Amino acid sequence: MTDRRLLLISNGSELIGDNPSEFFHAALKDFLGAAARRVLFVPFAAVVHSEDGYRDRVRRHFGPLGYEVESLHEASDARAAVEGADAIAVGGGNTFKLLRGLYEAGVVELVRERVAAGTPYVGWSAGSNVACPTIRTTNDMPVVEPPSFDALNLVPFQVNPHYTDYHPPGHMGETRDERLAEFVHMNPGVRVVGLREGTMLRVEGDRVKLLGGKPARHFLKGEEPRDLAPEESISFLLQG
């Protein structure tokens, strides 16, 4: 049994964008509750925009919900910041840069330990992908090279954020399904969840719930990809 608590979101625009949805803000507040007042934000996925600006944008949305946001990039002691946080929020952007930043800060194992002990973890886009065993199901370009593709390993399955099965007419490139089929072919036994926009996974101990009213797509070698309905029991994803 584990005390892990995670909220893994496909896209952060409905949480911290210009037009956030009440549903996403309510889901965040319900997940964090009243006890987690000090949220440590990890902005390392930012590339073009500054980490200061990213921190400020998160503060504008988390603050009115009752949460104080500190940012890991300005901490004089990264490990102490992780140790002192009531909750950890990891933003989207470029997954490779995010993971490199976590390794450079020396907090990969510490974040894993804190989340296993019950510290709430909120991730969106790259922040969801980095919660997986590896980042090898990201959609991002490797603009930098982290020391390893091994990620936080907070859950035993992989997430593919921004999942879509739309194939534009005339587009000759691979579909997302084809790319994920290649991944599971090369990684037998590893499950992948394609998270559509507007959806999230809430993990509580050994239970997983899909939120957002849309299905997710499940991939596993030897099985046909299939949709997971929001009302379906999907806790089998945690069976390592």
Active-site residues: which are they? Answer: 125, 140, 162
22 Cβ contact list (under 8 Å, min separation 6): none
d(CA 42, CA 133): 18
Q: What is the DSSP string of 54-109?
A: HHHHHHHHHGGGT-EEEEGGG-SSHHHHHHH-SEEEE--S-HHHHHHHHHHHT-HH
Q: Are 77 and 105 contacting, i.e. CB atoms less than 8 angstroms apart? A: no
- Sign of the CA dihedral 56, 62, 63, 68? negative
d(CA 93, CA 73): 15
Report the side by side order of strands in the sheet with 192-196.
158-163, 192-196, 216-219, 226-228
Token pair listed for 84? 């002192």
